[in-house]
Amino acid sequence: MESPIEVKDNETVESLDFIRAAVAEDTAADRFGRRVQTRFPPEPNGYLHIGHVKAIAIDFGVAKDFGGVFNLRFDDTNPEKEEQEYVEGQIADLAWLGFEPANIYYASDYFDQLYDWAVELISLGKAYVDDLTADEMRAYRGTLTEPGRNSPYRDRSIEENLDLFARMKAGEFPDGARVLRAKIDMASGNLNLRDPAMYRIRHAEHQRTGDKWCIYPMYDWAHGQSDSIEGVTHSLCSLEYEDHRPLHDWYLDQLEVYHPKQIEFARLFITHTLLSKRGLIRLVNDGLVDGWDDPRMPTIVGMRRRGVPAKAILDFIERVGVSKTNSTADIALLEYYIRQELNLTAPRVMGVLEPLKVVITNYPAGQVEWLEAVNNPEDPSAGTRQLPFSRELYIDRDDFQEVPHKKFFRLAPGQEVRLRYGYFITCTDVVKDARGEIVELHCTYDPQTKGGYAPDGRKVKGTIHWLSAPHALNAEVRLYDRLFAAEDPGAYDDFREAINLDSLQIIPNAKVEPSLADAAPESVFQFERKGYFCVDSKDSRPGSLVFNQTIGLRDSWAKIQGKGG
């Protein structure tokens, strides 16, 4: 029991978000025997996305704050959509984020109990086997404004229902031939209570129970009872389950079993981002992205591969907070936290995306000097490293203008600039090929300006990054733009209309400094003046490096805030 929240007075409760306030009250009133137990209940039908982090952070955080228990439970009731790969992937995602569950449970472990309870409901006259087709059932269900009609099979005898349900389980009927339904109220204003299905027939192999079952429980039938079996005290879920709460309550009341308290919170929405596994799997299956871990995906595996630190995700989620009404966070806010974290932690290096050769004509051929460079000005403990300097260098093409714009203070004919950690250089000649393309610059350097400062105190207005050409390593750099041009991709039925067709640009011939030769997969660096880049965990090899752009340096969120937004 680590520093649980103690409710001493109303003030304490008022300073809490509405979920913690409710839990604090329950604890103070000695409901649930002062226990707190939460769970995160994903379906293993895909990888986790950043929306899930909100739910996990709430479940984990509430348990931690009250000295309680946080578990992971897989809602694995839909074998056709679910895979062991996703189970393992989701466990790994949680671990990477730092949320360790006390236990890992599976709804499929309760299939026997759920079956027995279904038989109990039938025996109580509260469930029946229905032979209507799916289309007929839809027609009988009614609409929001019209009540539904009773199925002609609703009044079957208990004996007949017990017999048919046993035969459903035994595999006598094909997929979809019959369902078991709860007998509640076909005129209910809540459509979920109009005799919801409890079991459907699916002759499908389950990743954990194999071919033991050919009937599978519906989500609502499994969910509340799973919470009950585990002794969950506070069943926290997003708002779309609010309408399901009366059904969960009804099941638990009929069965007269332990009854957790369900509390709903707002789902996380982010501009230009799709947050639904069902939606994301379509992007994967339609080949619009390169798998769940494509660095443009809002999945944990995607963001991780992109170089987004877990800390930045968690800081963002904390800032978004817990609320009861849905709202949409600006993606710029997430980007702000990514930059903030990487600015503190990412080592600085030299990387040239579009190399332009520079020959220092007054520097001796064959000579190499090692110049000291600071690894991270935000973190003195990161120390320094040595950068080679030689007669042939690379600079980025956009740091040179043959006819400079008035405010262009970088390299231009006759214009002097500072090479970061190096010397002052002045461009003397522009070498072009037959087509008039610039292929090389000739410059002179001032030997007095080693380290980037002139003893005579003369100033230069521009500082640019550079590499020693013979020492530079080749690298492929992948630049990313947002995957969705549309602000609310969830509003489109066809994602192709919302997608940004230009979200990936591959630069095959970038150059990076030699210290990156052995850079570990997933490590993130700031390429000075260019942004943050992460060693790709799938495709990068020593000798053929691949970097994913995590994010640029510009802080658009600060600008938005500056505008008073």
Residues that bind ligand ATP (CB under 6 A): 41-43, 45, 51-52, 54-55, 237-238, 267-268, 275-278
Q: In terms of residues, how long is the chain?
A: 565
- 424-432: strand order across its sheet: 463-464, 416-419, 424-432, 438-445, 355-360, 392-396, 467-468
CB of residue 49 to ligand ATP, shortest distance in Å: 6
Nearer to ligand ATP, 43 or 293 (CB): 43
- DSSP letter at 434? T
Nearer to ligand ATP, 288 or 454 (CB): 288
Residue with tokens 């930045």: 312
Helix (H, G, I), strand (E, B) or coil at 1: coil
- DSSP letter at 228? H
Annotated active-site residue 267? The verdict is yes
Nearer to ligand ATP, 214 or 329 (CB): 329
CB of residue 537 to ligand ATP, shortest distance in Å: 24
34, 149, 261, 267: which is the annotated catalytic residue?
Answer: 267
Across 452-544, the runs of DSSP E, i.e. the strands, are 463-464, 467-468, 473-480, 504-512, 524-527, 531-535
CB of residue 193 to ligand ATP, shortest distance in Å: 20
Element (H, E) at 75: none
- DSSP letter at 461? S
CB of residue 268 to ligand ATP, shortest distance in Å: 4
Bridge partners (DSSP) listed for residue 406: none
Annotated active-site residue 43? The verdict is yes
Terminal-to-terminal C-alpha distance of the chain: 42
Nearer to ligand ATP, 190 or 238 (CB): 238
CB of residue 328 to ligand ATP, shortest distance in Å: 11
54, 277, 296, 391: which is the annotated catalytic residue?
Answer: 277
Nearer to ligand ATP, 183 or 244 (CB): 244
- Region class of 291: left (phi > 0), else alpha (psi between -120 and 50), else beta: left
The burial class, CB within 10 Å (0-12 / 13-18 / 19+), for 216 is: buried
- How many angstroms separate the CA atoms of 297 and 267, rounded? 18
- Tell me which amino acid residue 248 is: H
Determine the residue with CB nearest ligand ATP: 51
- How many angstroms separate the CA atoms of 169 and 199, rounded? 10
Nearer to ligand ATP, 49 or 418 (CB): 49
Nearer to ligand ATP, 57 or 516 (CB): 57
Other beta carbons less than 10 A from residue 364's beta carbon? 9
Nearer to ligand ATP, 269 or 408 (CB): 269
CB of residue 221 to ligand ATP, shortest distance in Å: 16
Radius of gyration of the chain (CA): 31
Residue with tokens 């390429």: 527
Contact criterion met (CB below 8 Å) for 94 and 100: yes
- Region class of 32: left (phi > 0), else alpha (psi between -120 and 50), else beta: left
- How many angstroms separate the CA atoms of 551 and 557, rounded? 13
Residue 445 tokens read as 């350097």
Other beta carbons less than 10 A from residue 308's beta carbon? 27
- Tell me which amino acid residue 36 is: V
Annotated active-site residue 11? The verdict is no
Render 92-117 in DSSP notation, one character per residue. Answer: HHHHHHT---S-EEEGGGGHHHHHHH
How many CA atoms, within 13 angstroms, populate the side-chain half-sphere of residue 115?
18
CB of residue 45 to ligand ATP, shortest distance in Å: 5
Nearer to ligand ATP, 42 or 307 (CB): 42
Comparing C-alpha atoms, which of 179, 27, 213 is closest to residue 108?
213
Nearer to ligand ATP, 118 or 237 (CB): 237
Residue 78 tokens read as 């839909």
Which residues are marked as active site? Answer: 43, 267, 277
